[in-house]
A and B are shown apart, each in its own frame.
Chain A
Amino acid sequence: MTLPLHSKKDLTARIMQEKIYSLLQQGKRLDGRGPRDLRPITIQTNLVEKAEGSALVTMGGTKILTGIKVEVGTPYSDRPDEGSFAVNAELLPLASTTFEPGPPDERGVELARVVDRSLREGKAIDLKKLCIVEGEKAYILFIDIYVLDYDGNYYDPALISAMAALATLKIPKYKVVDGKLEKTDEYFTPELTALPFSVMVGVLGEKFLVDPQIDEEKVLDVSLIVGTDEKGNVVSIQKNSPGPVPINLMDEIIEIAWEKTQEIRKKFLESVPAKLAPEQ
């Protein structure tokens, strides 16, 4: 069979596309992994003292640095008893020849929004804990993600780094003195209320693989990022590339995502001193 070459993507050698496909048919991959194997993950936290939370995560050759800055602002009027967070992502030009300097392009915006939805719908933290004075003052978390080295699939390590930075946040406590806020010397770390993680699943022909490396990412027919929480809820899905997903693969893709995020969850809890909220 001949597979169509995707002109929208980077120039790809046809023999590589055929090779990746034929390997996959034998249950193998270029880097020696099986179709359902993630690349090795490393997580380091608290690397940036000027950020209230930070984490450097590597997944194979992909390297992500996330920092969280905390500011005090006014709660949204429809949620007076909650703080808030905002996610941004930059694909730095030092990470890849395909990233350009300048404001985030559509890929950067997409990455930020996918991570944002996973955290929000995954209910990673209780926003009520970020309220200082109801209706008046609340913490705003700026979660900024930087891709430092891009070797395929930046979504999953980006979410892991955001979670690791959240888990190790040190937020300054405030007290109210004469109706005004005053910073104290104390800090607190909000508990994580859930553990949403995602897995990128790539489809090639009727086969699929998880956590594509860059050569694989370039030749995939289509890919999906599926986020789940520790209870088995699917909390985010993004089909992030052109091409159709065969509907009969979907059940299996969701099942794989659950299985693989469980693996990430285990790794996360081993590497990060996360405080989990007690079961409600």
Chain B
Amino acid sequence: MSKPKLITEDGIRTDGRRFDELRPIRMEVGVLDKSDGSAYVEFGKTRVFAAVFGPREVHPRHLSLPDRAILNCRYHMTSFSVEERKPLGMTRREVELSKVIREALETVVFLEEFPRTSIDIYIEVVQADGGTRTTGLTAASLALADAGIPMADLIAAVAVGKVDGQLVLDLNDVEDKYGEADMPIAMAPRFNSIVLLQLNGRISKDEFPKALALAKKGIMEIYRLQREALKRKYSATPEGGM
């Protein structure tokens, strides 16, 4: 298939957004009962669940660390989340993304509070339409907060990229496939630090700071939505009676 036109002369993207707009976002905290904390996050048609278990005892015991908790993370996609059915089991891509997501979360979780335990994070992509790792990370951070795990900050994440020669925020699937570059970024906004950064494609040296600024703008908005979602869950006062 040849590359479709991704941005019109008027600067409108395939799904009607401008270059600096996020997709419609939905966040819900505490959606899965059997986990200690959970969240559901939607960026457009990208839909992700995340759940946290722990801190819990490590079995077998010799795998535990004497001075801190182990953070485990599994990023996984359902077979029907993508265009071509994904075979069951973990692909190399899923293994890699599990690692970089875990390392992003390790920067904010106070692991030393829970020696000899593990904190396990499971991310399940229900539908993939671009930005699953950033959506997954955003959801995982909400699930950790929901589980009451002490952490220095929430983590918010989004991808920036280059499409038809232009920098754009929050790539969708088509832009990811046919664009020139895809750069997922995650930040702990309170400390202005980057906790996940990858680049797939090419951008010029001069474009990099502009891309970063664009990402930061999106991340601050996502961070605001995360805080709203958490407050919504915990501030809700029930109606009178039952």
Is B127 part of the contact surface with A, judged by Cβ < 8 Å? Answer: yes
Question: Is the CB–CB distance between A94 and B124 below 8 Å?
Answer: yes
A63, B32: Cβ atoms closer than 8 Å? yes
Q: How many positions in chain A have a CB within 8 Å of any CB in the partner chain?
A: 31
Q: A49-B45, A50-B128 are in contact. Are A88 and B79 (CB under 8 A)?
A: yes
Residue pairs across A and B with CB atoms within 8 Å: the count is 82
B81 near A50 with CB under 8 A, answer: yes
Known contacts A49-B127, A65-B126, A88-B88: A148-B49 contact under CB 8 Å: yes
CB distance from A167 to the nearest CB of B (A): 16
The reply to whether the CB of A146 lies closer than 8 angstroms to some CB of chain B is: yes
A95, A97, A144, A151: the one contacting B78 at CB < 8 Å is A144
Q: Within the assembled complex, what's the spacing in Å between the Cα atoms of A148 and B32? A: 7
Contact status B49-A90, CB under 8 Å: no
CB distance from B81 to the nearest CB of A (A): 6
For B47, B78, B88, B127, the residue with the greatest tally of chain A CB atoms inside 10 Å of its CB is: B78
**Smallest Cβ distance from A188 to chain B, in angstroms?**
19
Interface: B85 (CB within 8 A): yes
Q: Mark B25-54, 1 if CB is under 8 A from A, else 0.
A: 000000011110010000001010111010
Max chain B C-beta neighbours (<10 A), residue from A95, A103, A104: A95
Q: Does B241 contact A (CB under 8 A)?
A: no
Q: Which residue of B lies closest to A146 (CB)?
A: B78
* B80 and A48 within 8 A (CB): yes
> In whole Å, how far is B158's beta carbon from the nearest beta carbon of chain A?
21
B180 at the interface (CB under 8 A from A): no
Asked whether A65 and B32 contact (CB < 8 A) given A50-B127, A92-B122, A94-B122, the answer is no
Interface string of A83-127 (1 = CB under 8 A from B): 000001010111111000101100000000000000000000000
The answer to whether B80 and A94 touch across the interface, beta carbons within 8 angstroms, is no
**Is A67's CB within 8 Å of the partner chain B?**
yes
Interface residue tally for chain B (C-beta within 8 Å)? 30
Q: Does B74 contact A (CB under 8 A)?
A: yes
Complex Cα distance A47/B48, Å? 12
Among B35, B83, B85, chain A packs the most CB atoms within 10 A around the CB of B85
Q: How far is the CA of A149 from the CA of B53 in the complex (A)?
A: 13
B33 touches A146 (CB 8 A): no
Task: Describe A's contact surface by its main secondary structure.
Answer: mixed
In the complex, whether A258 has a CB less than 8 A from a CB of chain B is: no
Q: Whole-angstrom distance between the alpha carbons of A137 and B62 in the complex?
A: 54
Q: Which residue of A lies closest to B85 (CB)?
A: A69
Which B residues lie within 8 Å of A51 (CB)?
Answer: 80
Tell me whether B34 and A97 are in contact (CB under 8 A).
yes
16 interchain pairs (CB within 8 A)? A50-B128, A51-B80, A61-B33, A67-B79, A68-B80, A93-B120, A93-B122, A94-B38, A94-B124, A96-B34, A101-B122, A103-B88, A103-B89, A142-B85, A148-B124, A149-B33
Give me the interface of B with A, judged by CB distance under 8 Å.
32-35, 38, 45, 47, 49-51, 53, 56, 74, 76, 78-83, 85, 88-89, 120, 122, 124, 126-129
* 4 closest Cβ pairs, A-B complex: A67-B80, A94-B51, A51-B80, A94-B122
Residues of A in contact with B (beta carbons under 8 Å apart): 47-51, 54, 61, 63, 65, 67-69, 71, 88, 90, 92-97, 101, 103-104, 142, 144, 146, 148-151
Beyond contacts A142-B79, A146-B124: 18 other A-B pairs, Cβ-Cβ < 8 A, are A50-B128, A65-B78, A67-B78, A67-B79, A68-B80, A88-B79, A92-B76, A94-B38, A94-B50, A94-B122, A95-B32, A97-B53, A142-B80, A144-B79, A149-B32, A149-B34, A150-B34, A151-B34
